[in-house]
Structure 1
Amino acid sequence: MDEHFVWVTTRRVKPGTLEEFERAWRPSAHPDGMSRAFAYWSEDGQEVTGVSFWDSRQACDAWRASEAEKRRRDSMAPYVEEEREGYYRGGELAIPTGGSS
């Protein structure tokens, strides 16, 4: 299994502020060491989960400590009620194919 380094952040957005949050959320520059990023919204539009893939933990930590990320977080803050985040390692699971047992 190819191992990936992933940063996951889930934010609960204040009601009625999703559009403003989304503008503030997108980074102004592509972070060094980030290879991919995905965003997922709950059906009610009040929770947003971002999943970013990194070359290494050090690359992720460097971005998180950067001035650009501090500015981005500061611009999101007025629209966020709650935030959970964490760093994970893992990879894609093989899903069996074929007939039933």
Structure 2
Amino acid sequence: MEEHFVWVTTRRIRPDTLEDFERAWRPEPAPQGLRRAYAYWSEDGQEITGVSFWDSQEACDAWRSSEAEAQRRAAMTPYVAEEREGFYRGRELGVPQR
């Protein structure tokens, strides 16, 4: 099975800031080594979980320590009340077909 390298961030944002936060959140240009990225948000729009898949842990670490990521985080800061993150390795689970 193929192994995945995944960075997950969960942020609680300040009320009524979802649109502003989303503009600040999207990296430009896309980081090197990023395969896919997903965003999931709570019904009230105040908690957002980002899940990104990377070529390797080194590619993710290079992005996380880059000036572009520092600027992106600075742009998000006014909207973020709380943040948690983690880096994981894993694989797809086989789901039985019915």
TM range (shorter): over 0.9
d(CA) in 1 for partners of 2:8, 2:93: 18
User: Which residue of structure 2 lines up, in the alignment, with residue 52 of structure 1?
Assistant: 52
Higher radius of gyration, 1 or 2: 1
d(CA) in 2 for partners of 1:97, 1:68: 43
User: Which residue of structure 2 lines up, in the alignment, with residue 68 of structure 1?
Assistant: 68
**In the TM superposition, what is the alpha-carbon distance from 1:97 to its structure 2 partner?**
2.2
**In the TM superposition, what is the alpha-carbon distance from 1:28 to its structure 2 partner?**
1.3
Kindly report which structure 2 residues correspond to 1:74-89, keeping only aligned pairs within 5 A, or say none.
Answer: 74-89=74-89
d(CA) in 1 for partners of 2:31, 2:55: 11
Q: Identify unmatched segments of 5+ residues in structure 2.
A: none
**In the TM superposition, what is the alpha-carbon distance from 1:49 to its structure 2 partner?**
0.6
d(CA) in 2 for partners of 1:95, 1:69: 35
d(CA) in 2 for partners of 1:14, 1:58: 32
Q: What TM-score, normalized to structure 1?
A: 0.94
Q: What TM-score, normalized to structure 2?
A: 0.97
d(CA) in 1 for partners of 2:2, 2:15: 39
User: Which residue of structure 1 lines up, in the alignment, with residue 42 of structure 2?
Assistant: 42
Does residue 32 of structure 2 align to residue 32 of structure 1? yes
Does residue 29 of structure 2 align to residue 16 of structure 1? no
Percent identical: 71
Aligned Cα root-mean-square deviation (Å): 0.7
Q: Identify unmatched segments of 5+ residues in structure 1.
A: none
